[in-house]
Amino acid sequence: MFFSFLPRFLLLILITHAAGTTSLPTKIGKGYRLLSIQDSSNGGFLALLQLKQKNNIYGPDIPLLQISVKHETENRLRVHITDAEKQRWEVPYNLLPREKPPPSKQTIGRSGSTVTPAEYVGTELIFAYIADPFSFSVKRKSNGQILFDSRSDASDPYSGLVFKDQYLEISTKLPKDAALYGLGENTQPHGIKLYPNDPYTLYTTDISAINLNADLYGSHPVYMDLRNVGGEASAHAVLLLNSNGMDVFYTGHSLTYKVIGGVFDFYFFSGPSPLAVIDQYTAFVGRPAPMPYWAFGFHQCRWGYHNLSVVEDVVENYRKAKIPLDVIWNDDDHMDGHKDFTLNPLNYPRPKLLEFLDKIHAQGMKYIVIIDPGIGVNTSYGVYQRGLANDVFIKYHGKPYLAQVWPGAVNFPDFLNPETVEWWGDEIRRFHELVPVDGLWIDMNEASNFCSGLCTLPQGRICPNGTGPGWVCCLDCKNITNTRWDDPPYKINASGIQAPIGYKTIATSAYHYNGVLEYDAHSIYGFSQSIATHKGLQGLQGKRPFILTRSTYVGSGHYAAHWTGDNKGTWEDLKYSISTMLNFGIFGIPMVGSDICGFYPAPTEELCNRWIEVGAFYPFSRDHANFYSPRQELYQWESVAESARNALGMRYKLLPYLYTLNYEAHTTGAPIARPLFFTFTNETKLYGLSTQFLLGSSLMVSPVLESNKTQVEAVFPPGSWYDMFDLTKVIVSKESQPVVLDAPLHVINVHLYQNAIIPMQQGGMISKDARTTPFTLVVAFPLGAMEGKCRGNLFLDDDELPEMKLATGSSTYIDFHATVSKGVVKLWSDVLESSFALEKGWIIEKVAVLGLRGSAGALEIEVDGNADANANKVEVSTAEHRWFPVEEGKTAKNVMVEIKGLELAVGKKFAMSWKMGIKH
């Protein structure tokens, strides 16, 4: 919720645009020299680095470093640099499982051998180093491209390797044509490509997403680098696995990390395609969590549903307006005094709530509520008392650290403590027995705090007193600046203003389990809560958990979905939502979306029309508004309701396609929503395109993002693109070029690319019902193709099961193939694990084959190798395509062939073929 930071909102708006002017300081030190090197027991090598010259800028240097290098897989290289004599903070290995480097006290010979420049060659990547001053590079083996180069020459504005207790610096040179993506979470006004000299600060903070170029709710120190050399594109990624606050300076020809603690733990992923990069990245950080089928339906939420009758009214009004709705949400309105795991006995009486949930659950709808990490300090509050008894809270000077959020005074659970994880799971279980929710929404977990510093409960006054704004600090607090953790020597550009790193969060000198400092663990707080929440939900009924989290870190996608936080109801924020969504696909969190129509203030009617047209195609599609904004459910305006019926109507028809993309994401990491360059990697014109996106590899969404527009200029990569709302309309593009499309108020342009087969169903008001309707296969050949191949797939499963995998009796996977060759069209399926689909009785009722030339002849159909007994009921018709741009003198008849009346069991292999007659 944004209002926790209202007091500094105006300040942030004023300074955000100026934040990019932060300058690089002078060079620091002379770096390190390689002292010795040897093979390590884990299959890589170890080396010692010795400081060349002391200096005290940002504190004393660490004199001796250990570097461990290993090709961990064919396409992943790790370079780990730490203090050779003392253990330093790293992202906990139990939270993000990975191989441990050799211990820092392993003995390495310190003299006797002459060290010369050398290379360490892997299957795809080459690690090379220079001994004095020490620097390293990573090269691509196939073409010799240097992907990372830490050399610092006299002409470079940055330092060489710097390694101090609270300041680490390293840089890499970049070619001028490299396109970089990632380094979030932030709202990027220039689009998905990193923009030279914009600030990129990584430190989890509760400031609203309306603030540009500022560190927001998540920390993702990873970037993807896409280069096109001689018309050949290749991509790689670089992850710095470090949870400490950092500034990353990108100049266009170099990138410099300035980190306030931890270690340098670099992972290089060789790609070479963007999809391969994400596959390799998520294989390491954790595959995206499988989402239940209903999660791809539409969600409605609002902060300010004051009582249960309002929620019931919302559900009923969606039904009356014939707008699909799968999930109804409560912000903290359902809570008793804003306390987690409670119900307000007056406004949400349990018997009536249970009656309501029985009703919507019977229809297939779901119910989700919010949980904040702050646990109210209240002697009559069982959750708090059990937390105290189990010693689960973050400490300061031996006592639970006191903060303030919505309930008033709170303590923060320490999710690094195994006891806390068990207690949290037990509280989830207790709450689920009270209210059978279908998922949890974890918010404010950066962690957000309305106060700063060391606080105590005020004597003689009630806090909060219930009369003023709930986000104003009312504890008695004093700033903490007397420790090097609360006031580190290097000031990262936190909140875009170099705010103290403990400002409006947990004091960074507070400590977690085993003495871990908040200074080090701050940015993994939301990540650790996601893991604990996932474990708690999974232990309930063996069902697939659904968790929505605001704060994220590397690996969060393995446990949770994400929404982009508190956005504004403006045209600019509508545009920004696309870039943020696409970035999270790169971060391995594909289930992502923004608050449709904006969180606050009131959107215009036109904006809400256009936003639901875009938001209907976010992977996570939810309308959410703020307490103080007017109501903005999609039925509030008839024009918005019409746009919603159109756009969500198409989404619900595409649910089988989206759910199959969910399976692809879970097994390969592939983003559900992707930049166009993921499919058209050699098209350099697309590298910065941030106003359109793909769902999967083949569906392109081209929204209107400006006011008073009834047309949209969209870029169409080379090939044939079919209008999903009218499959006879096709755009044929010979090169990536803009095309002006009609887009009246209720129209969203969605196009299907050639060579694809996508499964669709008939839609409905709720995913449970839509899922039972017959299937249509849409097969898209290039327009007028005489030779061509198409492919598609479909994954079906019991979406309640915690695991999403191919298994007998619980899932079915189908590959669809089609060819056209010498006038003969063939379409067939290959089925794996057929029993699940057969038990459900799903059928394919219709096939639409696009882009054919001529007229359709007699149809032959086989099922499991035998002639189809129902073939005589089938109707075959054709409709002529209309294409743009029209080529002069082109008279060939290009048609869509529709085959209706089929009764093909989805779980059985089928094959059909026919000839296309062409008149000359």
**Catalytic annotation, residues:** 443, 446, 566
The rounded Cα 85 to chain-centroid distance in angstroms is: 38
Contact call for residues 342 and 312 (beta carbons, < 8 A): no
Helix (H) or strand (E) holding 352: helix 350-363
CA distances from 755 to 207, 693, 752, 766, 789 (A): 44, 18, 9, 30, 6
Distance CA 548, CA 620 (A): 10
Q: Is 85 helix (H, G, I), strand (E, B) or coil?
A: coil
Written as one letter, the residue type at 344 is: N
Looking at residue 353, what DSSP letter applies? H
For the four alpha carbons of 402, 404, 405 and 407, in that order, the dihedral sign comes to positive
Closest CA relative to residue 565, chosen from 576, 672, 556: 576
Distance CA 435, CA 370 (A): 13
For the four alpha carbons of 783, 784, 789 and 791, in that order, the dihedral sign comes to positive
Contact call for residues 101 and 89 (beta carbons, < 8 A): no
Distance CA 323, CA 362 (A): 19
Listing DSSP states for 487-499 in one string gives S-SS---GGGTT-
Listing DSSP states for 262-324 in one string gives S-EEEEEE--SSHHHHHHHHHHHH-PPPPPPGGGGSEEE--TT--SHHHHHHHHHHHHHHT--
H-state helical runs in 399-516: 418-434
Task: Write the CB contacts of 39 (distance below 8 Å, at least 6 apart in sequence).
Answer: 45, 46
Half-sphere exposure of 275 (CA within 13 A, CB side): 16
Q: Dihedral angle at the C-alpha atoms of 183, 187, 192, 198, nearest 10 degrees?
A: -70
H-state helical runs in 819-905: 835-840
Q: Which two tokens stand for residue 812?
A: 């079915």
Distance CA 249, CA 354 (A): 53
Listing DSSP states for 222-277 in one string gives EEEEEEEETTEEEEEEEEE---S-EEEEE-SSEEEEEESSS-EEEEEE--SSHHHH
Q: Which two tokens stand for residue 806?
A: 């191919």
Distance CA 153, CA 76 (A): 28
Q: List the end-to-end C-alpha distance of the chain, in Å, as a whole number.
A: 67
Burial 144-181 (b: 16+ CB within 10 A, else e): ebbbbbbbbeeeeebbbbbbbbbbbbbbbbbeeebbbb
Distance CA 795, CA 464 (A): 51
Helix (H) or strand (E) holding 577: helix 571-586
Distance CA 884, CA 648 (A): 27
Written as one letter, the residue type at 718 is: P
Distance CA 374, CA 448 (A): 9
Distance CA 409, CA 889 (A): 77
Distance CA 826, CA 815 (A): 14
